[in-house]
Amino acid sequence: MSETRQRILDDIKVAMKAGDKPRLATLRLMSAAIKQIEVDQRIELDEPGTISVLDKMLKQRRESIAQYQQANRDDLIEVEQAELELIQEYMPEALSDDEIASIIDDAVSSSGASSIKDMGKVMGVVKPLLQGKADMSAVSQIIKQRLNA
């Protein structure tokens, strides 16, 4: 069992004892998402796999917040924001913009990418290095800008 998964399970117990229902609900969502992948694929997720599941959950929350903002649903934005912040606590420390740029530059040069057609090559190199440590949609935009320049 991954370290992050164990931490989530331990925190579920703490939240149950404390009667913290909103936190407990989000922790259970996280645990269920991880468990669902394990059952579907008949594997036990390692740390990078667990982080990948949580990263996907973060992306879903960000998209929901954007949609709720367009609909002026402040009540739903608060719920999603709270979940996003809790999930973020279990992610590795985010990299700085300079560190991200450096990894992208290395990936572009090592993959020999020269145009936007090589985007997949670059993403293949950077994704394992940045997953959970950076917003991958923002990373994708940076790569597009770099390859179009």
CATH number, domain with residue 103: 1.10.10.410
Q: What is the pTM of this model?
A: 0.81
Q: What's the mean per-residue pLDDT of the chain?
A: 93
Q: Are residues 8 and 75 in the same domain?
A: yes
Q: Are residues 74 and 104 in the same domain?
A: no
Residue 140: give the domain boundaries. 97-148
Domain edge (last residue) among 71, 88, 105: 88
Q: Are residues 73 and 27 in the same domain?
A: yes
Number of domains in the chain: 2
Radius of gyration of the chain (CA): 18
Residue 126 has pLDDT above 90, yes or no: yes
For residue 9, what are the CA distances in angstroms to 12, 27, 52, 73, 89?
A: 5, 8, 17, 32, 14
Residue 132 has pLDDT above 90, yes or no: no
- The whole-number pLDDT of residue 115 equals 87
- The whole-number pLDDT of residue 33 equals 97
CATH number at residue 18: 1.10.1510.10
Q: Are residues 58 and 112 in the same domain?
A: no
Q: Are residues 109 and 83 in the same domain?
A: no
- The whole-number pLDDT of residue 94 equals 86
Helix (H) or strand (E) holding 53: helix 47-70
Split at pLDDT 50, 70, 90, the class of 13 is very high
